[in-house]
Structure 1
Amino acid sequence: MESVRRLYQRFSSLVHELAKFGSIGAIAFVIDTGLFNVCNVLIGLGPLTSKVVATAISTTFAYLGNRFWTFRHREQSGLGREYFLFFLLNGIALLFGMLTIGFTHYTLGFDDPLSLNIANIVGVGLGTLFRYWSYKKWVFLEATEPIPMELPEAGLRQDR
């Protein structure tokens, strides 16, 4: 039992970070898939255009959730820099979705909603692996100093 406790202590921050990342990702996935279907099936934008629109909106949600919840303990290197890198890396991850949807639609000739949704899910899965790795490496950097869990109370003097 002691070895399990030591293992948990060693990896607890990673487990918590992955759980938060997964929660934000699950909500972003629902947003992405819902908008993809609304744009493609109801509005008729086409599968690739629908994917771009859905990804742009779900990525904005994911950035805010990851910055202010998942990776809030990491150093903040400027919202402009982080937002730019976040969208750049999501643009690269979007290619996974575009390739799987494009292959399914244009190469295999499957244009039914089920086939396109399966392709979308595969693309999102591949993109998620890339995103988690790249966010930790380039966007949400390790803190150079410990970041306090609570903000200090301003204006209180200790010498009274």
Structure 2
Amino acid sequence: MSSGRHALPSRFGKLYREIAKFGMVGASGFVVNLAVFNLIRTVTEWQTVRASVLATVVAILSNYLGLRYFAYRNRDQEDRNSRRKELTLFLLFSAIGLVIENSVLYATTYGLGWDGTLATNVSKFLGIGIATLFRFWSYRTWVFRATGSRRTAEESPDPVVPYPEPALSGSWERG
């Protein structure tokens, strides 16, 4: 067995783990979002998009806690200012995601006249999906950035190994 690590599989593994954690937090936020949305629609006489906006805000708050303390807990904040900046950026990009998500619902509800329970839930689901793609990109790029993410290739902790390293026995094994 070789102890050498290849940079490409290592980077993909890190990305897959990040996507999985983001997905777990997102799944819980999705449940919170739809549950609050349907609860508001059942209990109150609120308009569809107004109920959706409040549900999205509740989900955003729960997602911040999940992302900060679960998915991106290893990405430290140096000081109080960096925490404030992180939260400000998170809220900014979350607000853009809120607009994306609820624009889909608005278009189907008021543009197409689809205001039934099934139609609004499907529209909300579609809007959440589109907004999630934007949120994943923006959160990982701007909000929860890895410390030292601007290192050069020479400073990288996982150097590129072009060939399998020889094992101690002298035979070549794939790593």
Q: Shorter-chain-normalised TM-score: which range?
A: 0.7 to 0.9
State the alpha-carbon separation in 1 of the partners of residues 11 and 61 from structure 2.
32
Letter of the aligned partner of 1:142 in structure 2? A
| Residue identity (%) | 36
1:29 corresponds in structure 2 to 30
1:75, 1:141 within 8 Å by CA — same for their partners in 2? no
Query: TM-score, with normalisation over the residues of structure 1?
Result: 0.82
Partner-residue secondary structure (3-state), 2:86? helix
Partner-residue secondary structure (3-state), 2:75? coil
Q: What are the equivalent positions in structure 2 for 1:140-159 lying under 5 Å apart?
A: 140-144=144-148
Q: Which has the larger radius of gyration?
A: 2
1:100, 1:119 within 8 Å by CA — same for their partners in 2? yes
Partner-residue secondary structure (3-state), 2:29? helix
Query: TM-score, with normalisation over the residues of structure 2?
Result: 0.75
1:8 CA drift (Å) = 4.0
State the alpha-carbon separation in 2 of the partners of residues 10 and 93 from structure 1.
27
Deviations 1:61-92 (A, max 9, x none): 10111011111222326332212211111110
Whether 2:126 is the aligned partner of 1:122: answer yes
**From 81, 90, 94, the counterpart of 2:94:** 90
How many residues are treated as equivalent by the alignment? 142
**From 105, 109, 118, the counterpart of 2:109:** 105
2:15 corresponds in structure 1 to 14
2:158 corresponds in structure 1 to none
Whether 2:52 is the aligned partner of 1:51: answer yes
2:68 corresponds in structure 1 to 67
1:131 corresponds in structure 2 to 135
Distance 1:88-1:10 versus aligned 2 partners, 3 A rule: closer
2:159 corresponds in structure 1 to none
Letter of the aligned partner of 2:146 in structure 1? E
1:9 CA drift (Å) = 3.0
CA RMSD of aligned residues (A): 1.9
State the alpha-carbon separation in 1 of the partners of residues 52 and 11 from structure 2.
39
1:75, 1:144 within 8 Å by CA — same for their partners in 2? no
Which consecutive residues of structure 1, in runs of 5 or more, have no partner in the other structure?
Answer: 146-160
The range that moved more, 68-77 or 131-140, is 68-77
1:97, 1:124 within 8 Å by CA — same for their partners in 2? yes
Structure with more relative contact order (C-alpha pairs < 8 Å, separation 6 or more): 2
1:41, 1:113 within 8 Å by CA — same for their partners in 2? no
